[in-house]
Structure 1
Amino acid sequence: MNFSTLGLFLLAGGASLFMAWVIGAGSSGATPFAPAVGANAISTMQAAFFVGVLGFLGAVLQGGNVTEAVGSGLIRGVSLTPPAVILALVTAAGLMAVGIATGYPIATAFTVTGAIVGAGLALGGLPAWSKYAEIGLMWTVAPLVNAGLAYGLASLLPREDVPERRSVPTLAGLTGATVSLIGFALLGPGGTSRSIAATAAALGPVESPTGALAVELSVIVLFALVSALVVRFWIVADQERGLRRFLLVLGSLVAFSAGGSQVGLAVGPLVPLLDTVEVSLFAVLVGGAVGILVGSWTGAPRMIKSLAQDYASLGPRRSISALLPTFLFAQAAVALGVPISFNQAIVAAIIGSGAAVAGGDGVSRSKMGRTLGAWAGSFLLAFAIGFGTLSLL
């Protein structure tokens, strides 16, 4: 490795850190706790602190799948060069910074994907159509599924014939079961991810496949049962306080999931350069996690306020309705290694839960329209800058 190669990698790493900061300040730093802040369950500054720590942990423990997909799955036939990496990251981060300054949640996955695909095609790469179809499906399904589930939950929770001492613990049980199935990098052999339930089955005394499956199912049921009983105890003791506690738990899980998904958008473009400079993927993940942490602490409060106050007036019930579908979808995307935008997912969920309020009076339609335009425009602009600039050079 010569000094020129090292210098270019350091420049690309600096651009990646900038992108990680922007993600922490705008996407993963703002969206997880915005509904909780809107429900007065936590202050804006407290939310920024906790989301930074949880995002850091998620990035380190879950960030590998999406990072590798962004780094090597968007273009076929060529690898991104250091100048292409720098251009793609600066372009995407610049557009995200504009969103932060104006208070609009630009979709991170749109800008990063657009910039990388544009730069890769300009280098002579071939489109990865199968991956684009997969990503496009996730981007299309995310707002529809999140909004639909959030609307359904927000319509269900206030009903008198569905007591919250039963409905909310049921949702908590579903959340606990999902946590037992989350893959963690430290639990799998050889650096691979493995869930808590699968780890218990692998370490258990039963060696037959049937016995291992029984152990895994038992762990899932145990997590679900304990989660449901704890939340039921909270609800019975003090209903409003119990709802806010469960809301904070969901916000924490979404923040963790955001770190696992979004760090790949910041450090994924560096993957083609790692063999050249002999840097491990884990070290890059830690660097990206630090950038997200700092971004959450220093830049997230503005976006948290924007999402909590401008998009919908949500109480704890509708906030729970917005966060639970987002958490489930985020973990599915992380497991599949598909980059998604948390801004897109959470804003869609906020729209769905807010629409359950008097036919949608809790949602700012004009701001929703401008946000949708910003998402589409940022993808096209990032693609045009990445492709056009490298083509000229």
Structure 2
Amino acid sequence: MVGTETLLLFVVASAASLFMAWSIGAGSSGSTPFAPAVGANAISVMRAGLIVGVLGFLGAVLQGANVTEAVGTELIIGEPLTAGAAIVGLLTAAALVAVGVFAGYPIATSFTVTGAVVGVGLAMGGAPAWAKYIEIVTLWTLIPFVGGGVAFGIARLLRGDRFHEDYLIALLGGVIGVLVVTIDFALLGPGDGSGSIAGSLGPSLPLPPVGGVATGVVVVTLLAGVAATAVLWAALRQDRATGQRRFLLVLGGLVAFSAGGSQVGLAIGPLVPLLGSGINIPLWAVLVGGGFGLLVGSWTGAPRMIKAISQDYSSLGPRRSIAALIPSFAIAQVAVAFGIPVSFNEIIVSAIVGSGYAAGNAGVSRGKMGYTVLAWIASLVGSFVIGYGVYSGVRLAL
């Protein structure tokens, strides 16, 4: 039976988690996915905030388990977070993210949450999880170069006259189709696991394996790519501007879905250790609660940040927006698959800047970028120091 004090602390920790989810929805997951689409005038700011909230909720429920468990159990060795530590860490991170929302600067949520959780975990007496830190920092470091580089390359191809623009965009649509059927979703796996669309449909085809490779899965994957290419090609041939706009909105939706799957773990991950201490609540229920917090944050606070990212960083057209969203979607899904907390602000902003430089540095605000990078670094260091200091002070006081 759960004691009254334990239950009360869990309720307070859950409230802090919901505040964190709101801050993330209003900041990174709620603003960044559709920012390029808004910048290209493909969708209004208010409608983008509405749609991204729903898609973020679905992503949280269907893809949120990996990052959630990583944040909750893999950042500190030996000492699972207590309810008090979760409260301090979540409030520290949420406060910093909220400051960024109201100041108009996209604070990197993954930096603040990771720093805060590590800070309170070490203050509790836990040991650093160096292997996980190396994994996280490696991806964080690669994101600007990979995301920005791929966005730059795609934008240059779309701007050039070496290849027909419609052919290139249709092929890019095929790549997205392949990615969609190969990523994992919670409802498609056996039991509590996850599985992909191709992995679920492939075995039903009467095809023998070749060299140990599941032929049915390969066929379903290729068919998805061909179908996506054909549909997008038909749309582009009918009306290029409309086809590009629709593709851009699909990409924004996929990035919003991926943001929910990644960012919800930053909000509810610290609650995971508490679920094994007498609080009998299934993880899926916690994911639903976190997804709801993201949804409310997107609906109430995202428009301000959408404007900041879509207009202040680079003046985007449809082609450069497409170039920015494709690597953003791919990087987000890699992070979800490996359970690595990432910042969607870092992903999207890097891709936007990369696509902007493809147009000869058109519209890229270097001053804004400089302040943003400093804010990212300060949020990581500040959240660690505040989390460690506040929890150490609480322990001494008690």
TM-score tier, shorter chain, comes to over 0.9
In the TM superposition, residue 160 of structure 1 has moved relative to its aligned partner by 1.8
Secondary structure (helix, strand or coil) at the match of 2:177 reads helix
Q: Partners in 1 of 2:224 and 2:21 — Cα distance?
A: 33
Task: Give the corresponding residue for 1:215.
Answer: 216
Q: 1:285 aligns with which of 287, 302, 308?
A: 287
In the TM superposition, residue 389 of structure 1 has moved relative to its aligned partner by 1.3
Task: Give the corresponding residue for 2:157.
Answer: 156
Q: Partners in 2 of 1:68 and 1:207 — Cα distance?
A: 37
Task: Give the corresponding residue for 1:334.
Answer: 336
Moved more, 164-173 or 204-213: 204-213
Q: Partners in 1 of 2:204 and 2:283 — Cα distance?
A: 27
Does 2:309 match 1:307? yes
In the TM superposition, residue 284 of structure 1 has moved relative to its aligned partner by 0.4
Q: Partners in 1 of 2:102 and 2:93 — Cα distance?
A: 15
**Structure 2 counterpart of 1:330, one-letter code:** A
In the TM superposition, residue 340 of structure 1 has moved relative to its aligned partner by 0.5
Task: Give the corresponding residue for 1:390.
Answer: 391
Q: Partners in 2 of 1:165 and 1:71 — Cα distance?
A: 45
Task: Give the corresponding residue for 2:100.
Answer: 99
Does 2:327 match 1:320? no
Q: Is the 8 A contact 1:325 1:349 kept in 2?
A: yes
What residue ranges of structure 2 are gaps of 5+ in the alignment?
none
Q: 2:297 aligns with which of 289, 295, 298?
A: 295
Task: Give the corresponding residue for 1:253.
Answer: 254
In the TM superposition, residue 20 of structure 1 has moved relative to its aligned partner by 0.5
Secondary structure (helix, strand or coil) at the match of 2:214 reads helix
In the TM superposition, residue 356 of structure 1 has moved relative to its aligned partner by 1.2
Q: Partners in 2 of 1:28 and 1:223 — Cα distance?
A: 27
Task: Give the corresponding residue for 1:178.
Answer: 179
Moved more, 129-138 or 204-213: 204-213
In the TM superposition, residue 357 of structure 1 has moved relative to its aligned partner by 1.6
Does 2:120 match 1:82? no
**Structure 1 counterpart of 2:324, one-letter code:** A
Q: Partners in 2 of 1:341 and 1:209 — Cα distance?
A: 40
Q: Is the 8 A contact 1:56 1:290 kept in 2?
A: yes
TM-score if structure 1 supplies the norm length? 0.98
Q: Partners in 1 of 2:298 and 2:20 — Cα distance?
A: 12
Q: Is the 8 A contact 2:60 2:264 kept in 1?
A: yes
Q: What whole-Å deviation, never above 9, does each CA across 1:32-90 have from its counterpart, x for those lacking one?
A: 00000000000001100110010000000000000000000000010111111000000
Q: Partners in 2 of 1:236 and 1:290 — Cα distance?
A: 39
Task: Give the corresponding residue for 1:357.
Answer: 359
Does 2:273 match 1:272? yes
Q: Any residues of structure 2 matched to 1:196-207 within 5 Å, and which?
A: 196-205=197-206
Task: Give the corresponding residue for 1:69.
Answer: 70
Secondary structure (helix, strand or coil) at the match of 1:186 reads helix
Moved more, 152-161 or 368-377: 152-161
Distance 1:135 1:27, change over 3 A: same
In the TM superposition, residue 209 of structure 1 has moved relative to its aligned partner by 7.4
In the TM superposition, residue 361 of structure 1 has moved relative to its aligned partner by 3.1
Q: Partners in 2 of 1:188 and 1:56 — Cα distance?
A: 19
Q: What whole-Å deviation, never above 9, does each CA across 1:106-139 have from its counterpart, x for those lacking one?
A: 0000000000000000000000000000000010
**Structure 2 counterpart of 1:341, one-letter code:** S
**Structure 2 counterpart of 1:308, one-letter code:** S
Task: Give the corresponding residue for 1:55.
Answer: 56
Q: Partners in 2 of 1:212 and 1:353 — Cα distance?
A: 37
Q: Partners in 1 of 2:363 and 2:98 — Cα distance?
A: 27
Task: Give the corresponding residue for 1:191.
Answer: 192
Q: What whole-Å deviation, never above 9, does each CA across 1:203-234 have from its counterpart, x for those lacking one?
A: 44557576871100001001100100011011
Q: Partners in 1 of 2:167 and 2:9 — Cα distance?
A: 57
Moved more, 132-141 or 151-160: 151-160
Task: Give the corresponding residue for 1:235.
Answer: 236
Does 2:134 match 1:124? no
Q: Partners in 2 of 1:316 and 1:208 — Cα distance?
A: 42
Task: Give the corresponding residue for 2:29.
Answer: 28
Q: Partners in 2 of 1:324 and 1:4 — Cα distance?
A: 48
In the TM superposition, residue 201 of structure 1 has moved relative to its aligned partner by 2.6
In the TM superposition, residue 3 of structure 1 has moved relative to its aligned partner by 1.0
TM-score if structure 2 supplies the norm length? 0.97
Distance 1:165 1:14, change over 3 A: same
**Structure 2 counterpart of 1:59, one-letter code:** A
Q: Is the 8 A contact 1:202 1:212 kept in 2?
A: no
Q: Partners in 2 of 1:9 and 1:384 — Cα distance?
A: 24
Moved more, 271-280 or 88-97: 271-280
Q: Partners in 2 of 1:158 and 1:148 — Cα distance?
A: 15
